[in-house]
Amino acid sequence: MTKVNVHEAKTHLSKYLARVKKGETIILCSRNEPVAELRPIKRRRLKRRPIGLAEGEFKIPPEFFDPLPEEIINAFYGESDEDAT
């Protein structure tokens, strides 16, 4: 991570943007006090994400599909076991 004062950043903006494009983070400072951060933005995926990349790496046990216990269902609605009685 590099710290740069605003005047330096304005003077050499293209150079710092090239570094950001490569993945570096630049901290912009005003009178040596950090005020902003230049960092790369995540690029959007151009291709659709493939399906099934983790196939065979884990198994879902049959009990995963069992109904939830009453106390867990109540917790979703902000109720506790004491509220039910």
Please write the tens of the pLDDT for every residue from 24-83: 999 999 999 999 999 999 888 788 888 888 888 888 899 999 999 999 999 999 987 665
Query: Structural domain tally of the chain?
Result: 1
pLDDT digits (tens, 9 = 90+) for 3-28: 999 999 999 999 999 999 999 999 99
In a domain? residue 14: yes
Q: What is the CATH number of the domain that holds 24?
A: 3.40.1620
Range of the domain at 11: 2-38
Give pTM, 2 decimals: 0.51
Cα dist from 6 to 54, 61, 67, 85, whole Å: 46, 57, 59, 64
